[in-house]
Chains A and B, each alone.
Chain A
Amino acid sequence: MSDTSEDRISIRTRLPAFLRRADPAVLTAFGCILLLLFLSSLYSSNFLSLGYLLQQLKVASFLGVVAAGVMVVILLGHIDLSIPWVMTTGAMMACAAASFGGIGPVIAIPFGILCGAAFGLLNGFGVAYLRIPSMIVTLASNVVAQGLMVVYTGGFSPQDSAPPAVRWLATGFVIPGLPNAILVWIAISAMMVFLFTRTSFGRAVYGIGNSERAAYLSGIDTRRVVMIAFAISGALSAFGGVLLAGYSSKAAQAMGDAYLLPAIAAVVLGGTSILGGRGSYLGTVAGVILITLLQSILSVMQMPEAGRQIVYGVVIILMLLLYGRTPPNR
């Protein structure tokens, strides 16, 4: 036994520095991306073209923005199940605000994000101050958000087509050839990396994920951190919804339903422990790209919806079995 572990250590020390520091889960995720690209290129060489890859990154950026928020919550050891309808709320409210006279188009996007942040604050208050299990309170606020949107779309004549500003943000170009959505994702990612590695908030999130009791005893206002984390998750979910509305040029009911599983799966496949306290943002980026590629390849192969669901679930389970297992702690 000791021989093999020594071998492993010596192999590790012989690797280049950047590989030595990297999380094995993140490396595995990137390895899976390369494998997926290789396998799909056997099917058709179009999968390796620059246009296809950029298109994938653009689609991935919606999921990426949502997953960034989910990751903050998962690092705390909590979960946010309110993503589907908070996304829809963000998208619908942004579209609604845009039709608000002269100032509308300016406040559309911030307003959508604020609505998401409000739901996040509600979740965070329930989890942090009322100590309701996060799964329950986010579930309930998901139903509340759904109810509000049903009333909104049914009771008033809704403005559901995305305003030009939102469309531009999702599909326009600032740099020729590079869709804005990717730039947005890069900007959000830079902020998240800064948040996790350079701020006391980020350290507190990891600390609470490992042991909330210990974090509290070391003087962190754990309740405030948890509440802010949920607010960030809500705001980013809503922002993802806004981008998605810009991409599909309208906000629709249940548009966020297809994002809950992928967002959580992306974070977990990226090596973040669902028990909290462990994970790197780079892994989440890898997870998002991995899942988007998988979905895209399955749809290009024209697999029917049923087959897609099955393959998708099986692949996620296999990848989790490959490197997402919890350690045997006895």
Chain B
Amino acid sequence: MSEWRYWLNEQRGTLMGLAIFLLMFAVYIANHPAGLTANVAQTAANKGVLFAFVAMAQTLVVITAGIDLSVGMIFILTNCLASWIVVGEPLPTALGVLAVLAVGMICGAINGLLVIYGRLQPIVATIATGAVYFGLALLLRPFPGGSVNEDLADALTGRLFGVIPSSLVALAAAVLLVWLPFRRSRLGRAAYAAGSSEQAAFMSGVPIRRGKFAAYTLAGLLAAMGGLFLTFFTYTGEAAYASGSGYTLWSIAAVVLGGVSLYGGRGSAVGAIFGAFAARTTGDMLFVFDVDPLWQPLLQGVVLMIAVSIGSIALLRVRNRLDWFQ
């Protein structure tokens, strides 16, 4: 196989995610009364990046063939924390941002420690740590409230040069500074190898434990970035259980839409970002088509159901029935 076809095959999931998103966004824009203005793009981007950060976080863990069901709760916890400490003069604000990101990394690292060195199953371990993180969020914000440095918030949720939504720039920065270095590093390759076949990776001397640990830790960091952005949008912290579990569930959906294999070892965070934007557009689309808000969850569920069923077309290619049981 020539080089570019190999590349295309590797990126197939990501391109699928991009295609789904572009299709949905085009339909959305075509039916939007205002069309594609800078304002519409900014609103869409701002709502989308929250999902995108959480979906990126989920991707890192899913690549190692794990799952992080606490990612929404880390998001909520960092949101509540940021509403306390990302305030005041530039210096305290900067320190606050760093502290919030550090807390997210610590949460992710705890998940990693439990799963890798404690040998717990990711599903159960992260459900339990999710309860702990949500409890901590409730301690910080028993009632919604708090504030955030509004200059910083407006700068990061506004527009750059009047056109480009700055939240998208921040997302791109996260991809460039967190995802790409990880993907290209030895640890990133180890995370992929562990997800693909842990046994084989171990036998070939790949540092799978450190690779998986890095994936969980960076997942916490990305979830914390999402939490920070939630604070920037709402100016408050709120420990809402439904919101946290909702983000967790949609992060998994976004990962699937973005072509990341839940069995590990395949897919990229960029695909998950498109998946997240596509998932987000589903909700927006119902508004432009003037659907009764009451029907919105049902339609979203049906869309999700159809989207995940699309993958089963691959079954038609199966020649040997034993291939089902991969």
Among listed A96-104, A182-190, A322-330, interface-contacting one: A322-330
Query: Is the pair B311, A132 in contact by a Cβ cutoff of 8 Å?
Result: yes
For A, the interface residue count at a CB cutoff of 8 angstroms equals: 58
Residues of A within 8 A of B177 (CB): none
Choose among B294, B302, B325 the residue with the greatest number of A CB atoms under 10 Å from its CB.
B325
Interface residues of B in 43-94 (CB under 8 A from A): 67
Are A131 and B312 in contact, CB atoms less than 8 angstroms apart?
Answer: yes
Instruction: State whether B134 touches A132 (Cβ < 8 A).
Output: no
**Is there an interface contact between B142 and A140, defined as CB atoms closer than 8 Å?**
no
Given A139-B249, A143-B301, A155-B294, A307 and B135 contact (CB-CB distance below 8 Å) = yes
A92 within 8 A of B: no
User: Does the CB pair B263–A133 fall under 8 Å?
Assistant: yes
- Does the CB pair B298–A313 fall under 8 Å? no
| Segment from A13-21, A44-52, A145-153, A199-207 that makes contact with B | A145-153
Q: Kindly state whether residue B129 has any CB partner on chain A within 8 Å.
A: yes
Find out whether the CB atom of A216 lies under 8 angstroms from the CB atom of B298.
no
Kindly provide the distance from the CB of B143 to the nearest chain A CB, expressed in whole angstroms.
12
Q: Is residue A174 contacting chain B, with contact meaning CB distance below 8 A?
A: no
Instruction: Choose from B119, B139, B294 the contact partner of A306 (Cβ within 8 Å).
Output: B139
Chain B, 284-324, CB within 8 A of any chain A CB: 294-302, 304-305, 308-309, 311-312, 315, 321-322, 324
Contacts A143-B304, A261-B127 given; does A317 touch B135 at CB 8 Å: no
| Distance of A257 Cα from B300 Cα, bound (Å) | 19
Contact B120 A320 (CB under 8 A): yes
Question: In the complex the two chains form, is A265's CB within 8 Å of B312's CB?
Answer: no
Q: Which of B67, B114, B256 has the most CB of A within 10 A?
A: B256
Interface-centre pick from B135, B241, B315 (highest chain A CB count, 10 A): B135
Cβ contacts under 8 Å, B302 to chain A: 144, 147
Among residues 112 to 166 in chain B, which have CB atoms less than 8 Å away from a CB atom of chain A?
114, 118-121, 123-125, 127-132, 134-139, 142
**How many Å lie between the Cα of A305 and that of B135 in the bound state?**
7
State whether A321 touches B305 (Cβ < 8 A): no
Inter-subunit contact A325/B135 (CB<8 Å): no
A142 to B252, CA, bound (A): 13
Within A132-174, which residues are at the interface with B (CB < 8 Å)?
132-133, 135-137, 139-148, 150-151, 154-155
In the docked arrangement, what's the CA distance between A132 and B23, Å? 23
In the assembled complex, the Cα of A67 lies from the Cα of B120 at a distance in Å of 20
- Per-position contact with B for A285-321: 1 when CB-CB < 8 Å, else 0? 0000000000000000000111111111110110011
Q: Report the separation of the CA atoms of residues A66 and B299 in the bound assembly, to the nearest whole angstrom.
A: 27
From B245, B299, B312, contact of A147 by CB (8 A): B299
Query: Does A140 contact B308, Cβ atoms closer than 8 Å?
Result: yes
CB atoms of A317 and B262 under 8 A apart: no
On chain A, the residues within 8 Å of B312 by CB distance are 130-132
A139 nearest in chain B by CB position:
B249
Q: Which residue of A lies closest to B324 (CB)?
A: A131
**A274 touching B128 by the CB < 8 A rule?**
no
B218 at interface, CB cutoff 8 A? no
The distance from the CB of B212 to the nearest CB of chain A, in whole angstroms, is 14
Q: Mask for A65-101, Cβ within 8 A of B = 1, else 0?
A: 0000000000000010100000000000000000000
Asked if A265 and B121 make an inter-chain contact with CB atoms under 8 angstroms apart, the answer reads no
- Interface contact A254-B127, CB-CB below 8 Å: no
Say whether, besides A143-B301, A148-B298, A265 and B124 are in contact (CB < 8 Å). Answer: yes
Asked whether B242 is an interface residue with its Cβ less than 8 Å from the other chain, the reply is: yes
Quote the shortest CB–CB distance from B285 to chain A (angstroms).
15
Q: Of all chain B residues, which has the CB nearest A222?
A: B325
B253 contacts partner chain A, Cβ-Cβ < 8 Å: yes
23 intermolecular pairs with C-beta atoms under 8 Å apart = A79-B123, A126-B308, A132-B308, A136-B252, A136-B308, A139-B249, A142-B301, A143-B304, A144-B302, A150-B297, A155-B294, A261-B131, A274-B124, A304-B142, A306-B135, A306-B139, A312-B135, A313-B131, A313-B132, A316-B124, A326-B119, A328-B119, A330-B202
Could you list 7 further interchain pairs (A-B, Cβ under 8 angstroms) beyond the known A151-B298, A261-B127, A321-B114?
Answer: A133-B262, A141-B305, A143-B301, A257-B245, A265-B127, A309-B131, A325-B119
